Amino acid sequence: MGNLYEIRAKYDRDTIVMYQAYSEKLANLAMEHQTFVKPFSFNRMTWIKPSFLWLMHRSNWAQKSSQERILAVHITRAGWEKALSLGVLTSPENKIHGSGKEWQADFDSASVHVQWDTERSQRGSALPYFSIQVGLSRHIIREYVDEWIVKIEDVTPLVHKLRKLKKEGGKNYSKYLPVEARYPLASGIAAHLMIGS
């Protein structure tokens, strides 16, 4: 692994995949409409994550309450990169913000928050590098829902299959995992989020 802070994702020329965990009701509506509709909340922050295994750790492989369904949300790369360009880290970094006061002002006014969490292995162990998650505030969620989403897939059956293999002690089920590669970014977008550090 090269850098501690790097985006790894499943992506193609035009889109990138985000993983989110939802209740049965919200997931069914999202699949039906191929976007998010009420009772999805447009008034609070929603977090999108490109790391499949990090979300598996967070949702306990789709076993936590209201996280029983795992959706792969394909969004435009242009939308993703816009979110990153607007992002402010959830904690201050001296080399970026200069002072805690400067960071606080940026954070309070930001429409997008960016957090780095410890990446996870297939077995849920902590890895020595980080995974990104991006919080979209109510000021930009409508754009995410109405303009960025290209397609939504229900990958819950895959999660159940992987969970079963994991429980049975399967040593290697990586061939079933989504293939995630380093996501290329212009330095102007990356630097203020520590990407590449």
Q: What is the pLDDT of residue 1?
A: 45
Contact 135, 112 (CB under 8 A): yes
Average pLDDT along the chain: 93
Return the pLDDT at 94: 80
Whole-number Cα distances in Å, 193 to 83, 119, 196:
11, 17, 9
> Residue 171: what pLDDT?
65
Question: Of 70, 18, 53, 20, which Cα lies nearest the Cα of 126?
Answer: 53
Question: How far is residue 116's CA from residue 108's CA, in Å, rounded to a whole number?
Answer: 18
Q: What is the DSSP string of 20-81?
A: EEE-HHHHHHHHHHTS--TTS-SSS-EEEBS-HHHHHHHHTTTTSTT--EEEEEEEEHHHHH
Strands (E), 77-171: 87-89, 112-120, 126-136, 149-154
Q: What is the pLDDT of residue 2?
A: 58
| Per-residue pLDDT tens digits for 152-181 | 999 999 999 999 988 887 667 788 999 999
| 3 state DSSP class of 197 | coil
- Show contacts of 162-165: CB within 8 Å, 24+ apart: 162/56, 162/61, 163/61, 163/62, 163/63
Does the structure show a pLDDT above 70 at 81?
yes
Per-domain residue ranges for the chain?
8-193
Across 130-139, average pLDDT: 97
Angle (nearest 5°) at CA 91 between 85 and 16: 35
What CA–CA distance (Å, rounded) separates 131 from 142? 25
Q: What residue has token string 């998010």?
A: 36
> What is the per-residue pLDDT for 115?
97
Tell me how long the chain is: 197
Average pLDDT score over residue span 115-144: 96
26-53: b or e for each residue (b if 16 or more CB lie within 10 Å)? bbebbeeeebbeeebeeeebbebbbbbb
More confident residue, 69 or 187: 69
- When pLDDT is averaged across residues 83-102 and rounded to a whole number, the result is 88
Residue 57 has pLDDT above 60, yes or no: yes
Q: How far is CA 76 from CA 10, 96, 152, 166, in A?
A: 12, 27, 12, 32
Q: Are 172 and 121 in contact (CB under 8 A)?
A: no
